[in-house]
Structure 1
Amino acid sequence: MSVSKWIGGALGWSFGGPIGAIIGVALGSIVDAVSNGGGDVLLGEGKKQKRRTYSSRTQRPQTQSGDFEVSLLILASIVIKADGKQDQRELDYVRNQFSSMYGKERANHAFQLFKGISKQKISKRQVCLQIKQMMDHASRLQLMHFLFGIAKADGLVTSDEEREIQIMAGYLGINARDYESIKAMFYSSSDNAYTVLELEKGASVDEIKKAYRKMAKKYHPDRVIHLGKEHQKGAEEKFRQVQDAYEHLQKELGF
Protein backbone atom coordinates (compact mmCIF):
# COMPACT_ATOMS: atom_id res chain seq x y z
CA MET A 1 0.00 0.00 0.00
CA SER A 2 1.38 3.41 -0.98
CA VAL A 3 2.02 6.10 1.61
CA SER A 4 -0.44 8.43 -0.09
CA LYS A 5 -3.18 5.79 0.04
CA TRP A 6 -2.42 5.13 3.71
CA ILE A 7 -2.66 8.82 4.54
CA GLY A 8 -6.01 9.10 2.77
CA GLY A 9 -7.37 6.02 4.49
CA ALA A 10 -6.04 6.23 8.01
CA LEU A 11 -6.04 9.81 9.22
CA GLY A 12 -8.56 12.62 9.53
CA TRP A 13 -7.95 15.84 11.43
CA SER A 14 -4.54 14.76 12.71
CA PHE A 15 -2.96 15.09 9.27
CA GLY A 16 -2.79 18.85 9.55
CA GLY A 17 -1.33 21.49 11.85
CA PRO A 18 1.63 20.68 14.13
CA ILE A 19 0.66 17.00 14.42
CA GLY A 20 0.63 16.67 10.64
CA ALA A 21 4.14 18.14 10.46
CA ILE A 22 5.41 15.59 12.99
CA ILE A 23 3.76 12.74 11.10
CA GLY A 24 5.27 13.96 7.85
CA VAL A 25 8.82 13.89 9.22
CA ALA A 26 8.27 10.45 10.79
CA LEU A 27 6.85 9.09 7.55
CA GLY A 28 9.91 10.33 5.71
CA SER A 29 12.04 8.00 7.85
CA ILE A 30 10.02 4.91 6.92
CA VAL A 31 8.85 5.70 3.38
CA ASP A 32 11.34 3.31 1.77
CA ALA A 33 10.26 0.41 3.98
CA VAL A 34 6.60 1.05 3.25
CA SER A 35 7.18 1.44 -0.50
CA ASN A 36 9.28 -1.69 -0.79
CA GLY A 37 7.43 -3.93 1.64
CA GLY A 38 3.84 -2.94 1.07
CA GLY A 39 1.63 -4.11 3.92
CA ASP A 40 -1.65 -3.23 5.47
CA VAL A 41 -2.95 0.04 6.82
CA LEU A 42 -0.61 1.54 9.40
CA LEU A 43 -3.18 3.36 11.50
CA GLY A 44 -6.95 3.63 11.71
CA GLU A 45 -9.44 1.33 10.05
CA GLY A 46 -8.43 1.93 6.46
CA LYS A 47 -11.68 3.59 5.51
CA LYS A 48 -11.55 6.35 2.94
CA GLN A 49 -11.70 9.68 4.72
CA LYS A 50 -11.66 13.21 3.50
CA ARG A 51 -8.44 14.87 4.57
CA ARG A 52 -9.07 17.68 7.03
CA THR A 53 -6.68 20.54 7.69
CA TYR A 54 -6.25 22.06 11.11
CA SER A 55 -7.61 25.50 11.93
CA SER A 56 -8.38 27.19 15.22
CA ARG A 57 -11.81 27.95 13.77
CA THR A 58 -12.51 24.39 12.67
CA GLN A 59 -15.61 22.84 14.24
CA ARG A 60 -14.60 19.80 16.28
CA PRO A 61 -15.17 16.59 14.27
CA GLN A 62 -15.67 13.22 15.88
CA THR A 63 -12.29 11.74 16.71
CA GLN A 64 -11.58 8.55 14.78
CA SER A 65 -9.32 5.67 15.75
CA GLY A 66 -6.42 6.79 13.53
CA ASP A 67 -6.41 10.33 14.91
CA PHE A 68 -6.50 9.02 18.48
CA GLU A 69 -3.72 6.55 17.72
CA VAL A 70 -1.41 9.22 16.31
CA SER A 71 -2.08 11.44 19.33
CA LEU A 72 -1.16 8.54 21.63
CA LEU A 73 2.10 7.95 19.81
CA ILE A 74 3.19 11.59 19.98
CA LEU A 75 2.29 12.17 23.62
CA ALA A 76 3.77 8.80 24.61
CA SER A 77 7.09 9.81 23.05
CA ILE A 78 7.15 12.92 25.28
CA VAL A 79 6.47 10.94 28.46
CA ILE A 80 9.05 8.27 27.69
CA LYS A 81 11.77 10.90 27.20
CA ALA A 82 10.74 12.92 30.27
CA ASP A 83 13.35 11.40 32.59
CA GLY A 84 16.15 11.69 30.03
CA LYS A 85 16.17 8.09 28.88
CA GLN A 86 14.01 5.62 27.01
CA ASP A 87 13.37 2.69 29.35
CA GLN A 88 12.83 -0.56 27.46
CA ARG A 89 9.94 -1.47 29.78
CA GLU A 90 8.12 1.69 28.77
CA LEU A 91 8.75 1.00 25.08
CA ASP A 92 7.51 -2.57 25.56
CA TYR A 93 4.40 -1.21 27.30
CA VAL A 94 3.58 0.96 24.29
CA ARG A 95 4.11 -1.93 21.88
CA ASN A 96 2.09 -4.37 24.04
CA GLN A 97 -0.77 -1.92 24.46
CA PHE A 98 -0.93 -1.34 20.74
CA SER A 99 -0.72 -5.09 20.06
CA SER A 100 -3.61 -5.64 22.47
CA MET A 101 -5.72 -2.93 20.87
CA TYR A 102 -4.87 -3.30 17.18
CA GLY A 103 -3.22 -6.67 16.64
CA LYS A 104 0.46 -7.50 16.22
CA GLU A 105 0.90 -6.47 12.58
CA ARG A 106 -0.74 -3.09 12.87
CA ALA A 107 1.05 -2.47 16.18
CA ASN A 108 4.42 -3.18 14.53
CA HIS A 109 3.64 -0.66 11.80
CA ALA A 110 2.58 1.91 14.39
CA PHE A 111 5.76 1.31 16.37
CA GLN A 112 7.79 2.08 13.25
CA LEU A 113 6.07 5.45 13.13
CA PHE A 114 6.62 5.87 16.87
CA LYS A 115 10.37 5.49 16.46
CA GLY A 116 10.35 8.23 13.84
CA ILE A 117 8.30 10.48 16.11
CA SER A 118 10.48 9.88 19.19
CA LYS A 119 13.57 11.21 17.38
CA GLN A 120 11.97 14.64 16.96
CA LYS A 121 11.88 17.63 19.26
CA ILE A 122 8.16 18.15 19.87
CA SER A 123 6.34 21.21 21.14
CA LYS A 124 3.92 19.65 23.59
CA ARG A 125 2.00 22.92 23.84
CA GLN A 126 1.27 23.10 20.09
CA VAL A 127 0.40 19.41 19.85
CA CYS A 128 -1.84 19.43 22.92
CA LEU A 129 -3.67 22.58 21.84
CA GLN A 130 -4.47 20.92 18.50
CA ILE A 131 -5.74 17.83 20.30
CA LYS A 132 -7.81 19.98 22.67
CA GLN A 133 -9.35 21.82 19.73
CA MET A 134 -10.22 18.67 17.78
CA MET A 135 -10.75 15.86 20.32
CA ASP A 136 -13.71 15.36 22.68
CA HIS A 137 -13.22 15.45 26.46
CA ALA A 138 -13.82 11.72 27.09
CA SER A 139 -11.13 10.80 24.57
CA ARG A 140 -8.68 13.24 26.15
CA LEU A 141 -9.28 11.58 29.53
CA GLN A 142 -8.48 8.27 27.85
CA LEU A 143 -5.18 9.74 26.64
CA MET A 144 -4.30 10.74 30.21
CA HIS A 145 -4.97 7.22 31.49
CA PHE A 146 -2.74 5.72 28.82
CA LEU A 147 0.11 8.16 29.55
CA PHE A 148 0.14 7.31 33.26
CA GLY A 149 0.20 3.64 32.29
CA ILE A 150 3.35 4.25 30.25
CA ALA A 151 5.01 6.17 33.07
CA LYS A 152 4.18 3.38 35.55
CA ALA A 153 5.41 0.61 33.22
CA ASP A 154 8.87 0.58 34.81
CA GLY A 155 7.32 0.35 38.26
CA LEU A 156 7.58 4.02 39.21
CA VAL A 157 6.14 7.30 37.97
CA THR A 158 9.07 9.69 38.30
CA SER A 159 8.64 13.34 39.21
CA ASP A 160 9.83 14.31 35.72
CA GLU A 161 7.24 12.07 34.07
CA GLU A 162 4.48 13.31 36.33
CA ARG A 163 5.42 16.93 35.62
CA GLU A 164 5.28 16.34 31.85
CA ILE A 165 1.88 14.66 32.09
CA GLN A 166 0.53 17.42 34.31
CA ILE A 167 1.72 20.12 31.89
CA MET A 168 0.11 18.27 28.98
CA ALA A 169 -3.10 17.84 30.97
CA GLY A 170 -3.28 21.61 31.36
CA TYR A 171 -2.78 22.20 27.64
CA LEU A 172 -5.36 19.50 26.89
CA GLY A 173 -7.99 21.25 29.00
CA ILE A 174 -8.11 18.53 31.68
CA ASN A 175 -9.10 20.16 34.97
CA ALA A 176 -7.24 19.48 38.21
CA ARG A 177 -9.92 17.19 39.68
CA ASP A 178 -10.03 14.97 36.60
CA TYR A 179 -6.23 14.90 36.49
CA GLU A 180 -5.90 13.91 40.15
CA SER A 181 -8.60 11.26 39.73
CA ILE A 182 -6.76 9.51 36.90
CA LYS A 183 -3.38 9.95 38.61
CA ALA A 184 -4.71 8.26 41.77
CA MET A 185 -5.50 5.13 39.74
CA PHE A 186 -1.73 4.54 39.46
CA TYR A 187 -0.68 5.16 43.07
CA SER A 188 -1.17 3.19 46.28
CA SER A 189 -2.58 5.31 49.08
CA SER A 190 -5.27 4.97 51.70
CA ASP A 191 -6.90 8.13 50.37
CA ASN A 192 -6.88 7.11 46.71
CA ALA A 193 -10.48 5.89 46.70
CA TYR A 194 -11.63 9.37 47.59
CA THR A 195 -9.35 10.98 45.00
CA VAL A 196 -10.50 8.65 42.21
CA LEU A 197 -14.08 9.69 42.99
CA GLU A 198 -13.01 13.36 43.16
CA LEU A 199 -13.93 13.64 46.84
CA GLU A 200 -12.30 15.02 49.96
CA LYS A 201 -11.56 12.48 52.70
CA GLY A 202 -14.42 12.43 55.17
CA ALA A 203 -17.15 12.85 52.57
CA SER A 204 -20.58 11.65 53.64
CA VAL A 205 -22.19 8.45 52.36
CA ASP A 206 -24.62 10.49 50.26
CA GLU A 207 -21.75 12.47 48.76
CA ILE A 208 -19.90 9.23 47.96
CA LYS A 209 -22.94 7.73 46.25
CA LYS A 210 -23.52 10.91 44.24
CA ALA A 211 -19.85 11.09 43.23
CA TYR A 212 -19.85 7.45 42.15
CA ARG A 213 -22.83 8.00 39.86
CA LYS A 214 -21.14 11.05 38.36
CA MET A 215 -17.78 9.31 37.82
CA ALA A 216 -19.36 6.13 36.47
CA LYS A 217 -21.09 8.26 33.85
CA LYS A 218 -17.92 10.23 33.04
CA TYR A 219 -15.73 7.14 32.62
CA HIS A 220 -18.30 4.78 31.09
CA PRO A 221 -16.78 2.91 28.11
CA ASP A 222 -19.64 4.05 25.90
CA ARG A 223 -18.23 7.58 26.09
CA VAL A 224 -15.40 6.54 23.75
CA ILE A 225 -17.28 4.01 21.64
CA HIS A 226 -16.68 6.22 18.59
CA LEU A 227 -12.95 5.41 18.84
CA GLY A 228 -13.68 1.79 17.98
CA LYS A 229 -13.80 -1.44 19.94
CA GLU A 230 -9.99 -1.51 20.18
CA HIS A 231 -10.11 1.31 22.74
CA GLN A 232 -12.84 -0.21 24.90
CA LYS A 233 -10.35 -2.19 27.02
CA GLY A 234 -8.62 0.95 28.31
CA ALA A 235 -11.97 2.62 28.96
CA GLU A 236 -13.21 -0.43 30.82
CA GLU A 237 -10.08 -0.31 33.02
CA LYS A 238 -10.84 3.26 34.10
CA PHE A 239 -14.46 2.31 34.73
CA ARG A 240 -13.40 -0.71 36.81
CA GLN A 241 -11.12 1.46 38.95
CA VAL A 242 -14.02 3.80 39.72
CA GLN A 243 -16.08 0.79 40.77
CA ASP A 244 -13.21 -0.53 42.90
CA ALA A 245 -12.86 2.83 44.64
CA TYR A 246 -16.57 2.89 45.45
CA GLU A 247 -16.57 -0.71 46.72
CA HIS A 248 -13.52 0.06 48.88
CA LEU A 249 -15.37 2.92 50.57
CA GLN A 250 -18.50 0.80 50.94
CA LYS A 251 -16.50 -1.80 52.83
CA GLU A 252 -14.53 0.74 54.84
CA LEU A 253 -17.58 2.75 55.92
CA GLY A 254 -20.06 -0.13 56.05
CA PHE A 255 -22.85 1.13 53.82
Structure 2
Amino acid sequence: MNFSKWIGAGLGWSFGGPIGAIIGLVLGSIADSLSKNGTPLLGDWQSKQKRPTYDSQPQARPQTQPGDFEVSLLILASVVIKADGHQDQRELDFVRQQFVNMYGQDRANHAFKLFKGINQQQIPVRQVCVQIQRMMDHASRLQLLHFLFGIAKADGMVTENEVSQIYTIAGYLGISSRDFESIKAMFYDSSDNAYKILEITKEASVDEIKTAYRKMAKKYHPDRVIHLGEEHQKGAVDKFRQVQQAYEKLQKERGF
Protein backbone atom coordinates (compact mmCIF):
# COMPACT_ATOMS: atom_id res chain seq x y z
CA MET A 1 0.00 0.00 0.00
CA ASN A 2 1.56 3.32 -1.02
CA PHE A 3 1.23 6.50 1.05
CA SER A 4 -1.32 8.08 -1.27
CA LYS A 5 -3.73 5.15 -0.97
CA TRP A 6 -3.28 4.91 2.80
CA ILE A 7 -4.08 8.53 3.55
CA GLY A 8 -6.93 8.53 1.07
CA ALA A 9 -8.66 5.58 2.71
CA GLY A 10 -11.27 6.41 5.32
CA LEU A 11 -10.77 10.16 5.45
CA GLY A 12 -13.84 12.34 5.30
CA TRP A 13 -14.46 15.50 7.29
CA SER A 14 -10.84 15.99 8.35
CA PHE A 15 -9.88 17.25 4.88
CA GLY A 16 -11.90 20.40 5.45
CA GLY A 17 -11.43 23.24 7.94
CA PRO A 18 -8.22 23.93 9.90
CA ILE A 19 -7.30 20.24 10.01
CA GLY A 20 -7.45 20.13 6.24
CA ALA A 21 -5.07 23.10 6.08
CA ILE A 22 -2.56 21.36 8.35
CA ILE A 23 -2.71 18.07 6.47
CA GLY A 24 -2.58 19.89 3.15
CA LEU A 25 0.79 21.44 4.03
CA VAL A 26 2.18 18.09 5.12
CA LEU A 27 0.88 16.25 2.09
CA GLY A 28 2.26 18.94 -0.20
CA SER A 29 5.81 18.25 0.92
CA ILE A 30 5.29 14.49 0.91
CA ALA A 31 3.65 14.56 -2.51
CA ASP A 32 6.60 16.47 -3.92
CA SER A 33 8.85 13.66 -2.80
CA LEU A 34 6.51 10.92 -3.98
CA SER A 35 5.95 12.49 -7.39
CA LYS A 36 9.66 12.27 -8.17
CA ASN A 37 9.29 8.49 -7.96
CA GLY A 38 6.16 8.41 -10.08
CA THR A 39 3.75 7.89 -7.18
CA PRO A 40 0.23 9.36 -7.76
CA LEU A 41 -0.17 12.72 -6.09
CA LEU A 42 -2.60 13.13 -3.24
CA GLY A 43 -3.88 16.32 -4.79
CA ASP A 44 -5.52 14.29 -7.53
CA TRP A 45 -7.42 12.27 -4.94
CA GLN A 46 -8.35 15.29 -2.82
CA SER A 47 -9.72 17.28 -5.75
CA LYS A 48 -12.32 14.58 -6.39
CA GLN A 49 -13.66 14.48 -2.84
CA LYS A 50 -16.75 16.30 -1.63
CA ARG A 51 -15.51 18.52 1.16
CA PRO A 52 -17.69 19.42 4.14
CA THR A 53 -18.61 23.02 4.81
CA TYR A 54 -18.06 24.79 8.12
CA ASP A 55 -20.69 27.48 8.39
CA SER A 56 -22.50 28.83 11.43
CA GLN A 57 -25.58 26.67 10.98
CA PRO A 58 -26.02 23.65 13.27
CA GLN A 59 -25.48 20.34 11.50
CA ALA A 60 -25.70 16.70 12.46
CA ARG A 61 -22.37 15.02 13.19
CA PRO A 62 -21.37 12.58 10.46
CA GLN A 63 -20.07 9.26 11.74
CA THR A 64 -16.35 9.58 12.41
CA GLN A 65 -14.24 7.47 10.07
CA PRO A 66 -11.05 5.72 11.25
CA GLY A 67 -8.92 8.02 9.09
CA ASP A 68 -10.46 11.15 10.63
CA PHE A 69 -9.80 9.81 14.12
CA GLU A 70 -6.19 8.98 13.27
CA VAL A 71 -5.46 12.41 11.82
CA SER A 72 -7.08 14.13 14.83
CA LEU A 73 -5.05 11.94 17.15
CA LEU A 74 -1.77 12.73 15.40
CA ILE A 75 -2.36 16.48 15.49
CA LEU A 76 -3.32 16.56 19.18
CA ALA A 77 -0.46 14.20 20.05
CA SER A 78 1.93 16.73 18.53
CA VAL A 79 0.45 19.47 20.73
CA VAL A 80 0.84 17.44 23.94
CA ILE A 81 4.39 16.33 23.17
CA LYS A 82 5.44 19.97 22.83
CA ALA A 83 3.60 21.09 25.99
CA ASP A 84 6.57 20.80 28.34
CA GLY A 85 8.92 22.68 26.04
CA HIS A 86 10.79 19.73 24.59
CA GLN A 87 10.10 16.49 22.78
CA ASP A 88 11.09 13.43 24.77
CA GLN A 89 12.11 10.47 22.64
CA ARG A 90 10.08 8.18 24.91
CA GLU A 91 6.92 10.08 24.00
CA LEU A 92 7.72 9.85 20.29
CA ASP A 93 8.41 6.14 20.72
CA PHE A 94 5.08 5.76 22.52
CA VAL A 95 3.20 7.30 19.61
CA ARG A 96 4.96 5.05 17.13
CA GLN A 97 4.44 1.92 19.25
CA GLN A 98 0.76 2.67 19.76
CA PHE A 99 0.30 2.91 16.02
CA VAL A 100 2.20 -0.33 15.50
CA ASN A 101 -0.02 -2.03 18.08
CA MET A 102 -3.19 -0.70 16.49
CA TYR A 103 -2.43 -0.80 12.78
CA GLY A 104 0.59 -2.99 12.15
CA GLN A 105 4.08 -1.96 11.07
CA ASP A 106 3.36 -0.81 7.50
CA ARG A 107 0.39 1.38 8.32
CA ALA A 108 2.16 2.71 11.42
CA ASN A 109 5.11 3.79 9.29
CA HIS A 110 2.77 5.82 7.07
CA ALA A 111 1.10 7.37 10.11
CA PHE A 112 4.40 8.33 11.70
CA LYS A 113 5.59 9.89 8.44
CA LEU A 114 2.50 12.10 8.57
CA PHE A 115 3.09 12.77 12.28
CA LYS A 116 6.64 14.02 11.70
CA GLY A 117 5.32 16.51 9.15
CA ILE A 118 2.59 17.67 11.52
CA ASN A 119 5.11 18.00 14.33
CA GLN A 120 7.00 20.67 12.39
CA GLN A 121 3.98 22.98 12.26
CA GLN A 122 2.42 25.47 14.64
CA ILE A 123 -0.97 23.98 15.50
CA PRO A 124 -3.97 26.31 16.01
CA VAL A 125 -5.21 24.25 18.96
CA ARG A 126 -8.57 25.90 19.55
CA GLN A 127 -9.59 25.89 15.89
CA VAL A 128 -8.58 22.25 15.45
CA CYS A 129 -10.43 21.16 18.59
CA VAL A 130 -13.57 23.07 17.66
CA GLN A 131 -13.63 21.24 14.32
CA ILE A 132 -13.19 17.90 16.09
CA GLN A 133 -15.89 18.77 18.63
CA ARG A 134 -18.36 19.64 15.90
CA MET A 135 -17.70 16.57 13.82
CA MET A 136 -16.71 13.76 16.22
CA ASP A 137 -19.00 11.86 18.59
CA HIS A 138 -18.45 12.10 22.35
CA ALA A 139 -17.18 8.54 22.85
CA SER A 140 -14.48 9.03 20.24
CA ARG A 141 -13.42 12.32 21.83
CA LEU A 142 -13.05 10.55 25.17
CA GLN A 143 -10.86 8.00 23.44
CA LEU A 144 -8.67 10.80 22.09
CA LEU A 145 -8.26 12.21 25.60
CA HIS A 146 -7.26 8.80 26.98
CA PHE A 147 -4.58 8.46 24.31
CA LEU A 148 -3.21 11.94 25.06
CA PHE A 149 -2.71 11.10 28.73
CA GLY A 150 -0.92 7.93 27.65
CA ILE A 151 1.51 10.04 25.62
CA ALA A 152 2.11 12.43 28.52
CA LYS A 153 2.80 9.48 30.86
CA ALA A 154 5.16 7.75 28.39
CA ASP A 155 8.26 9.37 29.92
CA GLY A 156 7.28 8.20 33.40
CA MET A 157 5.53 11.33 34.63
CA VAL A 158 2.86 13.81 33.60
CA THR A 159 4.08 17.39 33.99
CA GLU A 160 1.87 20.30 35.04
CA ASN A 161 2.28 21.83 31.58
CA GLU A 162 1.06 18.62 29.96
CA VAL A 163 -1.93 18.38 32.28
CA SER A 164 -2.76 22.03 31.60
CA GLN A 165 -2.51 21.50 27.85
CA ILE A 166 -4.69 18.38 27.91
CA TYR A 167 -7.23 20.18 30.12
CA THR A 168 -7.37 23.01 27.59
CA ILE A 169 -7.83 20.53 24.76
CA ALA A 170 -10.59 18.76 26.70
CA GLY A 171 -12.44 22.03 27.18
CA TYR A 172 -12.24 22.89 23.49
CA LEU A 173 -13.42 19.35 22.67
CA GLY A 174 -16.53 19.83 24.78
CA ILE A 175 -15.46 17.26 27.38
CA SER A 176 -16.68 18.03 30.90
CA SER A 177 -14.37 18.53 33.87
CA ARG A 178 -15.77 15.37 35.45
CA ASP A 179 -14.96 13.29 32.39
CA PHE A 180 -11.52 14.88 32.26
CA GLU A 181 -10.82 14.03 35.92
CA SER A 182 -12.13 10.48 35.40
CA ILE A 183 -9.70 9.76 32.56
CA LYS A 184 -6.85 11.63 34.27
CA ALA A 185 -7.29 9.43 37.37
CA MET A 186 -6.58 6.36 35.25
CA PHE A 187 -2.97 7.52 34.94
CA TYR A 188 -2.31 8.31 38.60
CA ASP A 189 -1.96 6.20 41.72
CA SER A 190 -3.78 7.70 44.70
CA SER A 191 -6.23 6.57 47.35
CA ASP A 192 -9.23 8.32 45.83
CA ASN A 193 -8.65 7.38 42.18
CA ALA A 194 -11.43 4.79 42.18
CA TYR A 195 -13.92 7.48 43.17
CA LYS A 196 -12.61 9.89 40.54
CA ILE A 197 -12.79 7.28 37.79
CA LEU A 198 -16.43 6.63 38.68
CA GLU A 199 -17.06 10.40 38.94
CA ILE A 200 -18.25 10.29 42.56
CA THR A 201 -16.95 11.48 45.94
CA LYS A 202 -15.81 9.48 48.95
CA GLU A 203 -19.11 10.33 50.60
CA ALA A 204 -21.08 8.34 47.99
CA SER A 205 -23.39 5.64 49.31
CA VAL A 206 -23.24 2.02 48.12
CA ASP A 207 -26.29 2.60 45.93
CA GLU A 208 -24.65 5.69 44.43
CA ILE A 209 -21.48 3.70 43.73
CA LYS A 210 -23.49 1.02 41.93
CA THR A 211 -25.37 3.63 39.91
CA ALA A 212 -22.13 5.40 39.00
CA TYR A 213 -20.56 2.12 37.88
CA ARG A 214 -23.45 1.33 35.55
CA LYS A 215 -23.28 4.85 34.11
CA MET A 216 -19.52 4.78 33.54
CA ALA A 217 -19.53 1.23 32.18
CA LYS A 218 -22.05 2.36 29.59
CA LYS A 219 -20.11 5.54 28.78
CA TYR A 220 -16.78 3.74 28.31
CA HIS A 221 -18.06 0.53 26.74
CA PRO A 222 -15.87 -0.49 23.75
CA ASP A 223 -18.94 -0.83 21.54
CA ARG A 224 -19.30 2.96 21.71
CA VAL A 225 -16.35 3.28 19.32
CA ILE A 226 -17.03 0.20 17.21
CA HIS A 227 -17.37 2.45 14.15
CA LEU A 228 -13.68 3.37 14.47
CA GLY A 229 -12.63 -0.21 13.84
CA GLU A 230 -11.32 -3.06 15.96
CA GLU A 231 -7.95 -1.37 16.45
CA HIS A 232 -9.50 1.52 18.41
CA GLN A 233 -11.70 -0.76 20.47
CA LYS A 234 -8.52 -2.11 22.06
CA GLY A 235 -7.86 1.31 23.58
CA ALA A 236 -11.46 1.56 24.70
CA VAL A 237 -11.13 -1.80 26.45
CA ASP A 238 -8.39 -0.28 28.63
CA LYS A 239 -10.73 2.46 29.86
CA PHE A 240 -13.56 0.00 30.42
CA ARG A 241 -11.27 -2.34 32.40
CA GLN A 242 -10.19 0.49 34.69
CA VAL A 243 -13.82 1.32 35.44
CA GLN A 244 -14.36 -2.31 36.41
CA GLN A 245 -11.23 -2.31 38.57
CA ALA A 246 -12.30 0.91 40.31
CA TYR A 247 -15.68 -0.63 41.12
CA GLU A 248 -14.12 -3.85 42.39
CA LYS A 249 -11.75 -1.87 44.61
CA LEU A 250 -14.65 -0.02 46.20
CA GLN A 251 -16.56 -3.28 46.61
CA LYS A 252 -13.68 -4.64 48.70
CA GLU A 253 -13.24 -1.43 50.68
CA ARG A 254 -16.95 -1.05 51.44
CA GLY A 255 -17.69 -4.78 51.73
CA PHE A 256 -20.65 -5.05 49.37
TM-score, length of structure 2 as denominator length: 0.91
Equivalent positions of 1:1-255 (< 5 A) are 8-35=8-35, 36=37, 50-56=49-55, 57=57, 58-255=59-256
Deviation at 1:244, TM superposition (A): 0.4
CA RMSD across the alignment = 2.0
User: In 1, distance between residues paired with 2:63 and 2:49?
Assistant: 13
- For 2:11 and 2:179, locate their aligned partners in 1 and report how far apart those are by CA, in whole Å: 28
- Structure 2 Cα separation of the partners of residues 2 and 107 of structure 1: 12
Shift of 1:60: 1.1
Partner amino acid, structure 2, of 1:52: R
Aligned length: 247
| Structure 1 CA distance for aligned equivalents of residues 102 and 6 of structure 2 | 19
The alignment-based identity, stated in percent, is: 73
Return the alpha-carbon distance in structure 2 between the equivalents of residues 251 and 23 of structure 1: 49
Q: For residues 104 and 2 of structure 1, what CA distance do their matches in structure 2 show?
A: 13
Deviates more, 1:25-34 or 1:92-101: 25-34
For residues 103 and 225 of structure 2, the distance between their equivalents in structure 1, rounded to whole angstroms, comes to 16
Amino acid at match of 2:141: R
SS at match of 1:14: helix
Give distance in 1, aligned partners of 2:213 and 2:60. 32
Q: CA deviation at 1:11?
A: 1.1
Please tell me the residue identity of whatever aligns with 2:203.
Answer: G
- Distance change in 2, residues 1:135/1:50 (3 Å): same
Q: Which moved more, 1:117-126 or 1:52-61?
A: 52-61
Q: C-alpha separation between the residues in 1 aligned to 2:14 and 2:116? A: 18
1:141 maps to amino acid? L
State the shift of 1:202 in Å.
Answer: 2.1
CA displacement, residues 47-72 of structure 1 (integer Å, 9 cap, x when unaligned): xx954324143431000100000000
**Whole-angstrom distance in 1 between the partners of 2:246 and 2:103:** 29
Q: Do the aligned residues in 2 keep the contact of 1:11 with 1:51 (CA within 8 Å)?
A: no
Say whether the 8 Å CA contact 1:198–1:211 is kept in structure 2.
yes
1:201 to partner: Cα distance: 1.0
Aligned-partner Cα distance in 1 for 2:202–2:127 = 37
Closer, same or farther: CA 54–157 of 1 in aligned 2, 3 Å: farther
Give SS of 1:61's match: coil
